[in-house]
Structure 1
Amino acid sequence: MTLTIYTKPAGCFGCAKTKQKFAEAGIAFHEVDVITNEGAFEYITEELGYSQVPVVVYDKGGSENHWSGLNPARIDQIISIEAAAGRLREA
């Protein structure tokens, strides 16, 4: 399982809350700043088609799931999947 959150560093409430929810649940994630990483910006806009951060990409067993924006229902879904698999770490 890999979880990547594409963010911008300042002024993004959705980015902060998304990271907070995963951190509180004990789910490790990789954060990528789309302001300083041009390749990441191109990936989320051109390949995935999003124009809003955060963009969350959850890859489990080669199956990729992604969305854009603060989405508590999708966050909770990923937390439930990881909890059922026993992959939560102590926060």
Structure 2
Amino acid sequence: MRIIIYTKDNCVQCNATKNAMDSKGLPYELIHLDNDPQAVESLRNLGYRQAPVVMANEEHWSGFRPDKIAALQAQLALAG
């Protein structure tokens, strides 16, 4: 499973998302939106206006979502 977190500097919800992923042992890639205007534009085209944006397989969401992170952990355990 490939998980990508689009993050920004000094973003409380971004840090909470990364910490939750780390605590559950979920591997992820980070893309820093502060340095990637093309990624910002792509996310805006998808309707996102806040960070973080998490993409995992066919699913994506914005903000800190512990419920979604727990679901990813369960999916990873089943695939395991």
Q: Which runs of 5+ in 1 are unaligned?
A: 87-91
Determine whether 1:69 maps to 2:70.
no
Higher helix content, 1 or 2: 2
**What is the total number of aligned residue pairs between the two structures?**
80
- Residue 52 of structure 1 aligns to a residue whose secondary structure is coil
Query: 1:50 offset after TM fit, Å?
Result: 0.3
Q: Deviations over 1:33-90 (max 9, x none)?
A: 11110111111111x210000000001xxxx10001111111111111112222xxxx
Which of 30, 43, 52 matches 2:50? Answer: 52
Within a 5 Å distance, the mapping from 1:1-16 to structure 2 comes to: 1-10=1-10, 12-16=11-15
- Structure-2-length-normalised TM-score: 0.93
- Structure-1-length-normalised TM-score: 0.83
- Residue 61 of structure 2 aligns to a residue whose secondary structure is strand
Q: Which runs of 5+ in 2 are unaligned?
A: none
Q: Deviations over 1:8-33 (max 9, x none)?
A: 011x1110011111111111100111
Moved over 4 A (4+): none
Matched letter for residue 31 of structure 1: L
